[in-house]
Amino acid sequence: MKLRRLGGYAGAALALAIVFAAYLRPDLMLTLATQLWNCF
Amino acid sequence: MTQVLICGAAIVTLSMGIRHGFGLWLQPITMDRGWTRETFAFALAVQNLAWGIAGPFAGALADRFGAFRVLIAGSLLYAGGLVLMALSTSGAAFTGSAGLMLGMAQSGTTYAVVYGVIGRNVAADKRSWAMGVAAAAGSFGQFLMVPVENWLIGGFGWQSALFILGCLALAIVPLSLGLREPAATAATPGQQSLGHALREAFGYRSFQLLMAGYFVCGFQVVFIGVHMPSYLKDHGLSPNVATTALALIGLFNVIGTYAAGSLGARMPKRWILSTIYALRSVAIVIFLNVPLTPWSVYLFSSVIGVLWLSTVPPTNAVIAQIFGVRYLSMLGGFVFLSHQVGSFLGVWLGGRLYDATGSYDVVWWIAVALGVFAALVNLPVDERTIERHAVPGSAAA
């Protein structure tokens, strides 16, 4: 049970890390900077 | 319980996620259609108001007829709204689809409706944790969908990207079948009528205090989310800093919502809520008083990310604890309406006072003061289950 829970946390952490890395890609950074944020 | 949790979490991931990246459509749509930014912004403002106003009605329908029916209707409305958003060629049609339809769709597919089912199907001692899981899933959806939607727009064009999202919204239909409740818990006449539940909640001091706190949550979160990039830009920081800040808020928001839900199973929820609001004020005060550098922005974003939607599980769990789960979706919808009014004021006052004073300082300090206010008003919330001696109108439930 404990191992399953740890596996769950590890999987969640991996998913979060992958998505966070996607934000740091230069193309997305540029898009967000010019399209999403500038509209405010 | 597992089925309810998995399906509920997946639904909230989709419903919260799809809408979160709508800002990415601003430039392509306004350029293609020849509209002003105001046309686009007005539709999204209507969407947020419609989401809040329709929430109590969607919640009441879910409590009365079963959440899965409302979820299916919400999913169809979501898909239809996205398709019509892509096809709208006038500002009025765009406001009707992207604003009204999608706002109503969100009210039928997000937290309040799903929390009603979770509340009724998860044991009381695990309810806060389960709500934390669902809220974290919604936060993850928001975090995930921005890069996904950016990729869809880049790969397929803005119009096709909306059609694809429409198909994705339809995935809520099969998932909602996993939240189908036995008639005994969803639609059987209960001991309390809807009208009595409303009068009881609005006449109960702790409910009023929770609504006041949630108003502050909406004000702070949306003010920071909308106006922080401009604040950073005004202070000479690069747009990349703002983008990284957004990513950090998204990342830590997932962790914070889950942690708040888990803590709610172990300690009084009023303490958690009070601490969250107090910490928000402390974080803002420190942020305003240290030299503004990329690292101070990243640290602030991480802290405020942890505190971002972490109010959602304890607020809804304490409502369930006080009033029971029979009308949880409707009461959750009313509390969320208060949140949305706060959101509206956070966005509007941010811009209004910036124009009037030339800086965001006044609004930041209003956010601090409101945080202190919310921390204080949550402390006296009485979490004990309300005692009902005689319930008028019970036959009409």
Domains contained in chain B, CATH given? 1-186 (1.20.1250.20), 193-382 (1.20.1250.20)
Q: Does the predicted interface ipTM exceed a cut of 0.85?
A: no
Whether residue A32 and residue B246 make contact (CB cut-off 8 A), yes or no, is: yes
Whether residue A34 and residue B242 make contact (CB cut-off 8 A), yes or no, is: no
DSSP classification of residue B394? G
Whether residue B24 and residue A31 make contact (CB cut-off 8 A), yes or no, is: yes
Crossing angle, helix B361-378 and helix B328-357, to 10 degrees? 150
CB atoms inside a 10 Å sphere around CB B204: 15
**Nearest residue in A to B143, CA atom:** A19
The region, left, alpha or beta by phi > 0 then psi within -120 to 50, assigned to residue B213 is alpha
A with B: how many residue pairs have Cβ under 8 Å apart?
79
Question: Residues B348-376: pLDDT tens digits?
Answer: 888 888 888 888 899 999 999 999 999 99
- Helical H segments across chain B, by residue range: 2-20, 26-33, 37-65, 67-87, 91-94, 102-109, 111-121, 124-156, 158-170, 172-177, 183-186, 194-202, 205-234, 239-264, 269-289, 294-306, 312-323, 328-357, 361-378
Phi and psi at residue A32, to the nearest 5° = -65, -40
- Tell me which residues of chain A, numbers 1 to 30, contact chain B at a CB-CB cutoff of 8 Å: 12, 15-16, 19-20, 22-25, 27-29
Is it the case that residue B241 has pLDDT exceeding 80? yes
Question: Residues B41-54: pLDDT tens digits?
Answer: 788 888 888 999 99
Task: Please choose, from the candidates B34, B341, B116, the residue with its C-alpha nearest in 3D space to the C-alpha of residue B212.
Answer: B341
CB B325 within 8 A of CB B204: no
Residue B397, pLDDT score? 35
Residue B105, pLDDT score? 95
Q: Quick one: CA torsion of B225, B228, B229, B230, rounded to 10 degrees? A: 130
CB atoms inside a 10 Å sphere around CB B188: 9
pTM of the predicted structure, to 2 decimals? 0.87
Give the confidence band of B71 by pLDDT, cuts at 50, 70, 90: very high
**Nearest residue in B to A25, CA atom:** B147
* Residues in chain B within 8 Å Cβ distance of A27: 154
Question: Which member of A16, A28, A37 has the closest CB to residue B147?
Answer: A28
The structure tokens listed for B240 are: 């990349």
CB atoms inside a 10 Å sphere around CB A18: 11
Average pLDDT over residues B298-319: 94
Distances (CA, A) of B108 to A24, B134, B206, B291: 33, 15, 26, 44
Distances (CA, A) of A7 to A1, A2, A15, B234, B263: 10, 9, 12, 44, 21
Give the confidence band of B297 by pLDDT, cuts at 50, 70, 90: very high
C-alpha–C-alpha distance, residues B224 and B67, integer Å: 32
Q: How near does any CA of chain A get to the CA of B333, in Å?
A: 28
Task: Please choose, from the candidates B161, B147, B204, the residue with its C-alpha nearest in 3D space to the C-alpha of residue B25.
Answer: B161
